[in-house]
């Protein structure tokens, strides 16, 4: 269900993990408490004390969004999405503090956050260290000043808190984010996929019991969706595996085709466009929205591309985005001749409606293993089991046994979702001589996310790349943080399918299996000759050889290439591959590539990458790389580029002058001045702010909630 809570909840078909079990007769307190009125406030006689659309619960109130609108622009394989929610407090008293929790794509880059309170008050974001942001927010509450706070709970879950919402007032919350789309190179076309999450997996949120039976979906009938696809390649096909859509085709003149044309005021080139809208808005929240489109190969396919962006606010600050197509990558899709493949299948209670897809996926995988490879099948729920104590050589007989095992044993009958101990057992039991590829098949409803990802990362590193992890997410409500995180931390590749009967599901599983059969590469780095820059990702071993690779360079201030080409050197297992690549300089200064670069660096730091791997200068932005170490660096980067993160929050305060919407926000950290402009539209002039009317906005499915006085 769409989220109503940031607390810990669970799937009713599964038991709680032992460490989260509730003592008999006692309630598990998971909700954050909010207060709707200051103690001294007293409503007038006959005043309306409760918003019309709100729902009362035992421990809180829920105010669903009056309208939800999502607009997205896709240029190449980068999407800029604006999510707008409109709430209405039509009561005669203010809401002292409320919050709502919502999903965003795993690992996306939040590039803008604004709130409009009524017709005048505009709140705009400044990034601050978490503790400082919380302190400023509480100060605003104490003085009855309208303010807001945006926190990143996980890489895919965010919570916004809004303080002092006036009576009879509408609140419009806009969040803009950029996300790099998965683009898979096939035999006849490139397939690009956009996922817009509408659901938080059950370990994070589920409809409370007090809302069961209420027709909350009827309140979301005002949901609108508009996706604009701009392509220089021929768009062959547009489809959604999750929703009914309408597609309008056309050709436009003057809009951006690629990064080198973004922000140009005039352009006579033509491009094919596709405008996607929802056919049935009322079904929006039933599952995450998944859109795929196929394009023909362009002339530039097979050649690396470099885009250089100068920052619109910071003098002499540049960032580089390097794209390397799979055929140019040093791995060269080499297939390993030996190895061990281990399947780890989720048979927990939550897999009940996905078990047929699981069986189909296992049949598909098992029939694609090369003869002579070792393989085994593990299953997990509250406990775990395996087909054989040790992996067996793949042949006709072992395949028959494995297929019969899947048909006979694969049911959703193993209780809870305890993936972590199952993976620990798999790692301990693997053949220590052969390279090992672990393929996890799950719906993502696990409890120990951080510990699971940490295990995949450590196993990969401690084995010097001998073990890799791949993942296939099954179902409409997959946790992308888990599915993508396992593959990213484990040096592998991930895919998600709704059901094993939707168009394109076979191609997605072929991509996983092909990736799992490639040679193992542990050390893969990239350098740009003559420039001082932090590179992200610092170690490229997790990049998949079947899709384009995006590498970011955040250059030291003043270190800007003057030539029209850059020499890029790939270093893999001691061998060097040199590429001389032309540079495309964006016509206008901007912030998008800088924000994406900063986000990639924060992801590296969050994964525990060492300072030596980042190749940091002795000081960066005045923050010593020693002492507090990388946490201070991460805090500094996030504040400078106004990014919510593990270390920082976005704090929004009432600005009386509405013209300040096009000015840079300011903040300080460790004595360093920070400022930036939020909007980074792919289609507008670079570095300017775009204004959107109420009905052209977008939003996630969270609801505002607060406590009774």
Verify that 531 and 613 share a domain, yes or no: yes
pLDDT of the residue at 262? 43
Higher pLDDT, 291 or 97: 291
Higher pLDDT, 441 or 446: 441
Verify that 449 and 508 share a domain, yes or no: yes
CB atoms within 10 A of CB 221: 11
Verify that 608 and 483 share a domain, yes or no: no
**Residue 311 — very low, low, confident or very high, per pLDDT cuts 50/70/90?**
very high
Choose one of 640, 657, 678: the last residue of a domain: 640
Residue pair 29/365 in contact by the 8 Å Cβ criterion: no
Verify that 542 and 510 share a domain, yes or no: no
Q: What is the pLDDT of residues 83-102, one digit of tens each?
A: 998 888 888 888 888 888 88
CATH of the domain at 505: 3.40.50.410
**Residue 409 — very low, low, confident or very high, per pLDDT cuts 50/70/90?**
very high
**Residue 150 — very low, low, confident or very high, per pLDDT cuts 50/70/90?**
very high
Verify that 503 and 550 share a domain, yes or no: no
Residue where the block lists tokens 């694969």: 410
Least confident of 146-150, 176-180, 262-266, 359-363: 262-266
pLDDT of the residue at 423? 96
**pLDDT reading at 472 higher than 90:** yes
Verify that 370 and 506 share a domain, yes or no: yes
Q: Has residue 197 been placed in a domain?
A: no
pLDDT of the residue at 200? 66
Name the domain count of the chain.
2
Verify that 500 and 428 share a domain, yes or no: yes
Verify that 559 and 592 share a domain, yes or no: yes
At residue 144, what are phi and psi to the nearest 5 degrees? 55, 40
Query: What average pLDDT score do residues 360-376 get?
Result: 93
Q: Has residue 457 been placed in a domain?
A: yes
Query: What average pLDDT score do residues 18-47 get?
Result: 46
pLDDT of the residue at 509? 82
Q: Has residue 536 been placed in a domain?
A: yes
Residue pair 199/498 in contact by the 8 Å Cβ criterion: no
Q: Has residue 526 been placed in a domain?
A: yes
Q: Has residue 699 been placed in a domain?
A: no
**Residue 206 — very low, low, confident or very high, per pLDDT cuts 50/70/90?**
very low
Choose one of 495, 516, 537: the last residue of a domain: 516
What the block records as the tokens of 542 is 């997790």
Q: What is the pLDDT of residues 697-706, one digit of tens each?
A: 333 345 666 5
Choose one of 460, 482, 516: the last residue of a domain: 516
Written as one string, the DSSP assignment of 272-328 is EEEEEEES-GGGGGGS-EEEEEEEPPPTTTTS-EEEEEEBSSSTT-EEEEEEE-GGG
Verify that 496 and 578 share a domain, yes or no: no
pLDDT of the residue at 361? 92
pLDDT of the residue at 204? 36
Nearest to 513 by CA among 539, 486, 495: 495
Verify that 363 and 487 share a domain, yes or no: yes
How many whole angstroms separate alpha carbon 48 and alpha carbon 38? 17
Residue pair 569/576 in contact by the 8 Å Cβ criterion: yes
pLDDT of the residue at 24? 36
**Residue 108 — very low, low, confident or very high, per pLDDT cuts 50/70/90?**
very high
Q: What is the pLDDT of residues 490-521, one digit of tens each?
A: 888 898 887 755 556 777 888 888 888 888 87
Verify that 378 and 505 share a domain, yes or no: yes
Give the domain extent around 483: 340-516
pLDDT of the residue at 680? 40
Higher pLDDT, 210 or 417: 417
What pTM, to 2 d.p., does this model score?
0.78
How many whole angstroms separate alpha carbon 520 and alpha carbon 518? 7
**pLDDT reading at 15 higher than 70:** no
Q: Has residue 29 been placed in a domain?
A: no
pLDDT of the residue at 390? 94
pLDDT of the residue at 696? 30
Give percent of the chain with pLDDT exceeding 70.
70
Nearest to 424 by CA among 447, 452, 461: 452
Verify that 572 and 450 share a domain, yes or no: no
Q: Has residue 150 been placed in a domain?
A: no
Q: Has residue 474 been placed in a domain?
A: yes
Least confident of 31-45, 195-209, 338-352: 31-45
Query: What average pLDDT score do residues 50-78 get?
Result: 81
Query: What average pLDDT score do residues 352-369 get?
Result: 92
């Amino acid at each position: 269900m769409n989220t109503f809570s940031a607390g810990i909840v669970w799937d009713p078909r599964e038991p709680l993990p032992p460490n989260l079990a509730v003592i008999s007769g006692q309630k598990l307190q998971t909700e954050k408490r909010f207060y709707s009125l200051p103690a001294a406030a007293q409503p007038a006689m006959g005043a309306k004390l409760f918003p019309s659309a709100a729902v009362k619960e035992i421990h809180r109130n829920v105010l669903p969004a009056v309208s939800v609108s999502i607009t997205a622009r896709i240029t190449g394989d980068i999407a800029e999405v604006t999510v707008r929610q409109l709430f209405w407090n039509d009561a005669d008293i203010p809401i002292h503090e409320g919050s709502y929790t919502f999903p965003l794509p795993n690992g996306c880059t939040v590039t803008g956050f604004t709130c409009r309170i009524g017709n005048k008050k505009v709140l705009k974001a400044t990034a601050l260290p978490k503790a400082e942001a919380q302190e400023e927010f509480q100060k605003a509450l104490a003085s009855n000043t309208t303010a807001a706070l945006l926190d990143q709970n996980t890489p895919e879950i965010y919570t916004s808190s809004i303080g002092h919402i006036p009576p009879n007032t509408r609140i419009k919350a806009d969040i803009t984010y950029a996300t790099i789309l998965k683009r898979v190179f096939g035999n006849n076309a490139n397939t690009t996929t956009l996922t817009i999450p509408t659901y938080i997996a059950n370990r994070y949120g589920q409809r409370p019991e007090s809302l069961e039976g209420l027709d909350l979906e009827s309140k979301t009938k005002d949901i609108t969706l508009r996706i604009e696809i701009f392509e220089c390649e021929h768009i062959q096909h547009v489809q959604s595996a999750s929703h009914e859509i309408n597609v309008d085709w056309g050709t436009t003149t003057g809009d951006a085709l690629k990064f080198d044309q973004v922000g140009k005021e005039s352009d006579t080139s033509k491009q094919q466009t596709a405008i996607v809208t929802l056919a049935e808005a009322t079904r929006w929240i039933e599952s995450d929205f998944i859109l795929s489109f196929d394009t023909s190969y362009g002339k530039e396919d097979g050649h690396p591309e470099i885009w250089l962006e100068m920052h619109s606010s910071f003098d002499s600050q540049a960032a580089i985005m390097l794209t390397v197509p799979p055929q140019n990558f040093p791995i060269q899709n080499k297939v390993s001749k030996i190895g061990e493949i281990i399947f780890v299948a989720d048979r927990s209670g939550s897999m009940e409606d996905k078990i047929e897809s699981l069986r189909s996926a296992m049949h598909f995988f098992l029939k694609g293993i090369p003869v002579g490879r070792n393989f085994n099948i593990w299953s997990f729920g509250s406990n775990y089991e395996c087909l054989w104590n040790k992996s067996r050589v793949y042949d006709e007989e072992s395949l028959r046994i494995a297929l019969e095992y899947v048909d006979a044993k694969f049911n959703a009958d193993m209780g809870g979702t305890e993936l972590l101990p199952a993976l620990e057992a798999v790692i301990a039991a693997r053949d220590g001589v052969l390279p090992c590829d672990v393929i996890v098949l799950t719906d993502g409803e696990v409890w120990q996310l951080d510990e699971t990802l940490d295990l995949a990362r450590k196993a990969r590193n401690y084995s010097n790349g001998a073990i890799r992890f791949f993942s296939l997410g099954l179902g409409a409500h997959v946790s992308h943080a888990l599915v993508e995180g396992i593959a990213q931390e484990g040096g592998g590749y991930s895919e998600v399918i709704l059901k094993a009967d939707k168009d394109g599901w076979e191609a997605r599983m072929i991509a996983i299996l092909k990736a799992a059969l490639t040679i193992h590469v542990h050390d893969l780095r990239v350098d740009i000759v003559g420039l001082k820059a932090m590179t992200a990702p610092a170690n490229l071993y997790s990049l998949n050889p079947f899709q384009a690779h995006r590498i970011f360079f955040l250059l030291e201030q003043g270190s800007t290439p003057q030539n029209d080409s850059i020499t890029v050197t790939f270093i893999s297992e001691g061998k060097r591959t040199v590429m001389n690549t032309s540079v495309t300089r964006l016509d206008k200064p901007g912030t998008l590539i800088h924000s994406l670069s900063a986000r990639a660096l924060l992801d590296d730091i969050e994964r525990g990458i060492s300072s030596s791997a980042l190749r940091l200068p002795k000081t960066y932005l005045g923050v010593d790389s020693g002492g507090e170490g990388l946490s201070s660096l991460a805090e500094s980067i996030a504040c400078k580029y106004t990014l919510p993160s593990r270390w920082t929050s976005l704090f929004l305060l009432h600005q009386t002058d509405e013209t300040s919407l096009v000015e840079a926000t300011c903040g300080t950290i460790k004595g360093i001045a920070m400022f930036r402009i939020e909007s980074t539209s792919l289609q507008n002039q670079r570095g300017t702010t775009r204004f959107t009317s109420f009905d052209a906005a977008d939003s996630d499915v969270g609801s505002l909630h607060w406590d009774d006085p």
